[in-house]
């Protein structure tokens, strides 16, 4: 009898379509290609219209809730009293029906408002991010600007900088990536927290814009540069291994003992950084520089870190934010 030959099973692996996978990733992160023709006036007008539409809807719903809740309470109380006080069957039926109809009405009102307001708020937040970030990247030297609306920073993204220590939590949103003068740049909104003194309490270390980009520098270790106001906030905390190399007024450079920061960073760069003035909405600047990487922590007040809802957009603050971003990029990319 002839031996049966074993059938060889060959597993086939479907080829990975990189373009399809990239499209899936971008869809999950809600990647938006930003326009670069947004002026301060057009940005302000679009935001104000969106804010007014959202706040009008919110105000109407709040007024309706404030009006209906006392009435519903009175109707429920009266119906309950009627239900208990009337001995006849019809009285109890009428009271029960009123209570039931009122409860159904409350549920319907809740469902209608529950679905309407979150949708409006998400639409406003998304449009605000698009308008504001389109304004920030509307500059000739910027190319390929993209907003990653659903992307978020992780604590690990900040650990290599070693600007703040003991970070235990982070909040972030609206991360934008673009190319500027041949360098990859990323900027996003972030807030860093450490443990507070009390249990389950968190203390804010930094809130503002996190700007990071590549550099062509070559030296060992790192430098931290601080530019602050008279009232100091969000100062760096992770520099135990560094020494103060230069300190003048509200400007300081930290680095390894004996490090030649003038040679590594450039005298002109240092002088230009010293000219940056923390004023108005800008509260503090921490810049960390090491070979291949630069990051700036720009601390701002509520005119930048809060989304305008009951108050109008502070367009001057966004004009200042844009100037701060490109001042830092231009200065540090000179080297």
pLDDT higher for 90 or 277? 277
In a domain, residue 109? The reply is yes
Q: Are residues 218 and 79 in the same domain?
A: no
Tell me which of 90, 115, 133 is where a domain ends.
133
Q: Are residues 301 and 177 in the same domain?
A: yes
pLDDT of residue 123: 87
E strands in 269-325: 282-290, 293-300
Q: Are residues 251 and 223 in the same domain?
A: yes
State what percent of residues in the chain have pLDDT above 70. 73
Does the pLDDT at position 60 exceed 90?
no
Residue with tokens 């970030």: 133
Q: Are residues 150 and 225 in the same domain?
A: yes
pLDDT higher for 228 or 14? 228
pLDDT tens digits, residue range 108-123? 444 544 555 466 778 8
Tell me which of 133, 154, 177 is where a domain ends.
133
pLDDT higher for 9 or 302? 302
pTM score above 0.85: no
In a domain, residue 27? The reply is no
Tell me which DSSP letter residue 139 carries: S
Tell me which of 104, 133, 162 is where a domain ends.
133
Does the pLDDT at position 189 exceed 90?
yes
Does the pLDDT at position 142 exceed 80?
yes
Q: Are residues 181 and 114 in the same domain?
A: no
Average pLDDT on 230-242 reads: 93
Instruction: Compute the Cα dihedral for 129, 157, 255, 335 and give only its sign.
Output: negative
pLDDT higher for 73 or 154? 154
Q: Mean pLDDT, the chain, as a whole number?
A: 83
pLDDT of residue 319: 97
Q: Are residues 103 and 150 in the same domain?
A: no
pLDDT of residue 109: 43
pLDDT of residue 213: 96
pLDDT tens digits, residue range 2-56? 555 555 555 555 555 556 555 565 567 789 999 999 999 999 999 999 888 877 7
Residue with tokens 């449009």: 127
Residue with tokens 């790192």: 222
**Burial bucket for residue 294 (CB in 10 Å: 0-12, 13-18, 19+):** buried
Does the pLDDT at position 95 exceed 80?
no
Instruction: Compute the Cα dihedral for 198, 307, 226, 145 and give only its sign.
Output: positive
**Burial bucket for residue 180 (CB in 10 Å: 0-12, 13-18, 19+):** buried
pLDDT tens digits, residue range 270-300? 999 999 999 999 999 999 999 999 999 999 9
pLDDT of residue 5: 55
* 293 touches 251 (CB < 8 A): no
Does the pLDDT at position 203 exceed 70?
yes
Q: Are residues 170 and 313 in the same domain?
A: yes
Half-sphere exposure of 278 (CA within 13 A, CB side): 23
Give the confidence band of 199 by pLDDT, cuts at 50, 70, 90: confident
In a domain, residue 6? The reply is no
In a domain, residue 281? The reply is yes
pLDDT higher for 6 or 197? 197
State what percent of residues in the chain have pLDDT above 90. 61
Does the pLDDT at position 221 exceed 50?
yes
> 249-264 in b/e burial notation, b at 16+ Cβ within 10 A?
ebbbbbbeeebebeeb
Q: Tokens in use for 161?
A: 């900088």
pLDDT of residue 131: 96
Q: Are residues 125 and 148 in the same domain?
A: no
- Structural domain of residue 198, as residue ranges? 141-332
Q: Are residues 241 and 278 in the same domain?
A: yes
DSSP 194-245: EE-SSTT-EEEEEEEEEEEEE-----SSEEEEEEE-SS--S-----TT-EEE
In a domain, residue 32? The reply is no
In a domain, residue 310? The reply is yes
Q: Are residues 109 and 154 in the same domain?
A: no
- Overall domain count for the chain: 2
Average pLDDT on 310-326 reads: 95
Q: Are residues 67 and 162 in the same domain?
A: no
Q: Are residues 150 and 280 in the same domain?
A: yes
In a domain, residue 8? The reply is no
In a domain, residue 3? The reply is no
Average pLDDT on 129-153 reads: 96
Please write down the HEC assignment for all residues of 73-117.
HHHHHHHHHHHHHCCCHHHHHHHHHHHHHHHHHHHHHHHHHHHHH
**Distance between CA atoms of 78 and 144, rounded to whole angstroms?**
65
* 335 touches 266 (CB < 8 A): yes
* 167 touches 155 (CB < 8 A): yes
């Amino acid at each position: 009898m002839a031996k049966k030959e074993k059938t060889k099973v060959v597993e086939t692996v479907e080829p990975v379509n990189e373009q399809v996978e990239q499209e899936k990733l971008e869809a999950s992160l809600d990647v938006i290609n930003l326009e670069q023709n947004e002026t301060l006036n057009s940005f302000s007008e679009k935001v104000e219209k969106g804010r007014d539409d959202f706040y009008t809807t919110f105000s109407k719903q709040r007024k309706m809730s404030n009006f209906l809740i006392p009435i519903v309470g009175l109707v429920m109380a009266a119906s309950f009293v009627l239900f208990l006080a009337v001995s006849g069957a019809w009285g109890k039926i009428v009271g029960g029906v009123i209570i039931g109809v009122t409860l159904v009405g409350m549920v319907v009102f809740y469902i209608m408002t529950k679905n309407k307001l979150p949708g409006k708020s998400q639409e406003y937040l998304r449009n605000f991010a698009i308008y504001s970030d389109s304004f920030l990247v509307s500059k000739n030297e910027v190319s390929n600007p993209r907003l990653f609306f659903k992307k978020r920073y992780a604590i690990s993204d900040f650990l290599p900088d070693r600007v703040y220590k003991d970070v235990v939590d982070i909040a972030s949103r609206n991360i934008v990536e673009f190319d500027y003068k041949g360098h990859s740049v990323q900027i996003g909104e972030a807030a860093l927290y450490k443990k507070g003194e009390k249990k389950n309490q968190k203390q804010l270390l930094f809130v503002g814009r996190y700007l990071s980009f590549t550099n062509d520098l070559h030296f060992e270790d790192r430098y931290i540069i601080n530019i602050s106001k008279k009232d100091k906030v969000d100062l760096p905390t992770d520099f135990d291994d560094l020494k103060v190399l230069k300190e003048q007024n509200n400007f300081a450079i930290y680095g390894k003992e004996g490090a030649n920061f003038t040679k590594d960073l450039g005298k002109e760069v240092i002088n230009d950084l010293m000219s940056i003035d923390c004023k108005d909405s800008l509260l503090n600047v921490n810049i960390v520089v090491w070979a291949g990487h630069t990051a700036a922590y720009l601390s701002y007040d509520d005119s930048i870190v809060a989304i305008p809802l009951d108050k109008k957009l502070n367009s001057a603050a966004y004009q200042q934010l844009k100037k701060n971003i490109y001042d830092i990029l231009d200065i540090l990319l000179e080297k």
